[in-house]
């Protein structure tokens, strides 16, 4: 820098240009650009986080499904455990007896259904063949399609299904993962029933101040929601199975008990499960007894589902469990894509509990700041 005659450095005049700092550059941008940049950065962060969570969920899908199913069964069986504890039974025998009761019911129902319907499978295979022939004649006579085109379409569908079938190695690995998840779930269920409350109290004792009260409140709300969902869903699924099974018996549709059992299991997948179970019942009635019986079964399925949605669900389900149907569809679809049928079973209770915990935390913070 050049000095003047007195040896002093001349001051920088205001007319000389200065280098703008990052803050000045950001402030100089128009507000739509700043808003777009901010939202884009947040969106990138959120999408990256969801992608990482999805990758972790896929890698740990068997463990996550086992944990979710264990919590669901523990909430379902909690009243039985508390009843046994009131009878002065120790924690370990009470938990073991509760699990044995669950396994006894499942095995007993399976054996009963098999003994009552095993003789009907051979007859049903013939009736399905006749029903498919009637369906084929109806399609070719009603729609603008020839028998050759329909046969070609059926063959392409069969080839696609056979091509997408898993290889023996993949099937064996999947079966091993399923068996391992079931065994892990049973062991975790025993320890959760035996020591669940003491483990939760241990977690709370490690916290202090307002965080402890918030955690206790959110955990209690989530557990109540899971218990209300599990018991309410089981009651509604049982009523659906009884109603549709009774209609199938009155209409003399074969395999009424297995179809009622499928309806009961489908009731644990909201919206989609009931629809699929009803469609299976209608197809079996069509193949076995013809279109008139199929229409009557369809009417019975629709009537039972309307009674369930408009009367039973508001009475049985707690309001804090209810989710919007659009949310349920998205959650069930996401769970199915991640972990198949098991993911569809556990996705809705996980979403309901998560939402209840978030809502409890928000209400607690609002009350504390008011």
Note the pLDDT of residue 299. 92
Cα–Cα dist 98/196, whole Å: 14
Q: Mean pLDDT of all residues in the chain?
A: 78
Nearest residue to 281 via CA among 293, 270, 267, 271: 293
pLDDT at position 9 over 70: no
Note the pLDDT of residue 23. 66
Q: What is the pLDDT of residues 27-73, one digit of tens each?
A: 667 778 778 888 888 889 888 887 887 778 677 777 777 788 888 88
Note the pLDDT of residue 161. 47
The confidence band for 106, taking pLDDT boundaries of 50, 70 and 90, is: confident
pTM over 0.95: no
Domain map (residue ranges) of the chain: 60-157+168-369
pLDDT at position 112 over 50: yes
Q: What is the pLDDT of residues 184-232, one digit of tens each?
A: 888 889 999 999 888 888 888 888 777 788 888 888 888 888 888 888 8
Note the pLDDT of residue 164. 44
């Amino acid at each position: 820098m050049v000095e003047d005659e007195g040896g002093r450095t001349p001051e920088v005049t205001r007319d000389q240009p200065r280098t703008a700092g990052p803050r000045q550059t950001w402030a100089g941008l128009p507000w739509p650009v700043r808003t777009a940049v901010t939202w884009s950065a947040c969106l990138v962060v959120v999408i990256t986080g969801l992608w990482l969570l999805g990758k972790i969920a896929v890698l740990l899908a068997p463990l996550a499904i086992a944990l979710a199913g264990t919590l669901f069964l523990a909430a379902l069986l909690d009243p039985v455990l508390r009843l046994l504890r009131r009878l002065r039974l120790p924690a370990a025998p009470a938990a073991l007896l509760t699990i044995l009761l669950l396994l006894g019911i499942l095995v007993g129902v399976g054996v009963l259904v098999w003994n009552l319907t095993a003789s009907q499978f051979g007859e049903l295979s013939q009736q399905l063949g006749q029903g498919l022939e009637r369906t084929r004649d109806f399609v070719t006579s009603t729609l603008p399609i020839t028998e050759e085109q329909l046969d070609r379409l059926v063959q392409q569908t069969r080839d696609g299904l056979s091509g997408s079938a898993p290889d023996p190695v993949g099937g064996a690995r999947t079966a091993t993962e399923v068996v391992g998840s079931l065994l892990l779930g049973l062991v975790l269920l025993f320890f959760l029933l035996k020591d669940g409350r003491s483990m939760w109290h241990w977690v709370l004792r490690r916290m202090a101040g307002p965080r402890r009260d918030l955690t206790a409140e959110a955990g209690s709300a989530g557990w109540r929601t899971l218990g209300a969902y599990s018991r309410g869903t089981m009651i509604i699924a049982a009523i659906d199975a009884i109603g549709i099974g009774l209609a199938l018996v009155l209409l003399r549709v074969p395999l009424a008990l297995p179809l009622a059992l499928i309806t009961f299991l489908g009731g644990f997948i909201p919206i989609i499960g009931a629809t699929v179970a009803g469609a299976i019942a209608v197809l079996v009635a069509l193949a076995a007894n013809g279109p008139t019986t199929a229409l009557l079964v369809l009417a019975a399925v629709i009537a039972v589902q309307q009674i369930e949605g408009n009367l039973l669900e508001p009475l049985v389900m707690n309001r804090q469990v209810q989710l919007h149907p659009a949310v349920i569809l998205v959650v069930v679809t996401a769970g199915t894509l991640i972990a198949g049928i098991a993911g569809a079973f556990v996705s809705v209770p996980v979403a309901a509990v998560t939402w209840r915990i978030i809502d409890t935390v928000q209400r607690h913070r609002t009350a504390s700041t008011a």
